[in-house]
Amino acid sequence: MQVDPKSGQPKTQRTDANVDTVRNLVRSNRRLGVRVIVEELNTNRLTVRQIVKEDLGMRKFSAKMVHQILTHDQEQRWLHFSLIFYMLVCFFDHKGIVHCKFIAQGQTVNQQCYLEVLTRLRESFRRKRPGIWPDM
């Protein structure tokens, strides 16, 4: 008994053409999200994520697609950042988080620090909830 090869679409959409298209899209705008690339290629999200991660060796970092290899300086900064303890001050309402602020260990939360946090909270609230807090 002989099995005929299936006809139709290939099992995967990770073709060389799609990899090249994703590479060109990311190079043209590193702030592109996976969702935009999915719409551009008319393919599924998993395929695009696999292309970005496995074929291009990239990952999402602070709203940018970047290569996963860090320089020595970046590694040291990351290690230094991860060894410092922070306190998170977070403000939220029924719709979600409005503003967050990290305060490093040893930093005094005094009047000046608290005023800065509240000022940024007001700016964040005006930007994220414009219907609730109109400009004055």
- pTM of the shown model: 0.40
Burial class (CB in 10 A: 0-12, 13-18, 19+), 121: middle
Residue owning tokens 């320089």: 71
Q: Three-class SS of residue 134?
A: coil
Determine the Cα–Cα distance for residues 18 and 14; give it in Å rounded to an integer: 6
Share of the chain above pLDDT 70, in %: 74
Task: Calculate helix-pair angle for 34-41, 16-28, nearest 10 degrees.
Answer: 130
Identify the structural domains of the chain with CATH numbers, from first to last. Answer: 16-67 (1.10.10), 84-128 (no CATH)
Determine the Cα–Cα distance for residues 55 and 24; give it in Å rounded to an integer: 13
pLDDT attached to residue 116: 92
Residue owning tokens 């996963």: 68
Q: Out of 23-32, 53-62, 93-102, 107-116, which region has the weakest mean confidence (pLDDT)?
A: 53-62
Q: What is the mean pLDDT of the chain?
A: 78
Q: Out of 8-22, 63-77, 89-103, 115-129, which region has the weakest mean confidence (pLDDT)?
A: 63-77
Determine the Cα–Cα distance for residues 46 and 30; give it in Å rounded to an integer: 19
Q: How far, CA to CA in Å, does 68 sit from each of 26, 31, 136?
A: 14, 16, 45
User: In the 8-state DSSP scheme, what is residue 59?
Assistant: E
Determine the Cα–Cα distance for residues 58 and 42; give it in Å rounded to an integer: 21
